[in-house]
Amino acid sequence: MTNTRTFEELPVWQKARKLTQDVYTATKQKPFCYDKGLVDQITRAAVSVMSNIAEGLERGTTSELLYFLFIAKGSAGEVRAQVYVAEDQNYISNNTAQQMRSDAKSICVQLSNWIKSMQTTGAPTGPKHNVQPEKETQFMQDMKEWQKQHVEKLKQKKT
C-alpha cells in the first residue's frame, strides 16, 4: 500500500467510503432516522474511518500514519458494535446488518495487515513513503526542529 499516491486509490479507503454510504442510507430510513443519538454516533464513526485513513496517508511520517490507522481501525470496530444496536432495535434487517458488519470487519483486517507491515522489524521508518529526504522542504525541516525542541521542553518539565 505504500506506493499509493492518494488515499482515494487505497482499496481500504474505498471500502470505508462504501461503508459510510451504506450507513447513511440505512440511517435515513424509518424508524432508524428517529434515533438521533444512534444516527449521530454511527455516522460519525463511519466518517471517522475514511477520514482517518485519508489524514494518516496525507501526514508526513510513518508514525503519524500508524497513529491515524489505529484510530480508523477503532472507528470501524465502533461501527460494527453500533450495527448490533441498530439490528437489535429492528432499525435494519439481519441481512443489512450482516453485510455492514462484514464490510467493517474487512476494513479492520486490511488496516491490521497494513499496520503490521509497518511495525515489523526491517520495515522502513522515518519519513513516509511519499516524502523523499533529498527533497525535504524547509517546512519539514522546521517542523522537525520544533518537534525536537518541544520534546526537550516536555522532558525538562517531567524532571
Domains of the chain: 7-125 (1.20.1440.60)
User: Could you tell me which residues are beta bridge partners of residue 61?
Assistant: 127
pTM of the full predicted structure?
0.74
State the virtual CA torsion across 82, 85, 87, 91 in degrees, nearest 10: -90
pLDDT tens string 104-123:
999 999 999 999 988 875 65
Asked which of 43-47, 57-61, 62-66, 105-109 is least confident by mean pLDDT, the reply is 57-61
Residues in contact with 152: Cβ distance below 8 Å, sequence separation at least 6, in sequence order: none
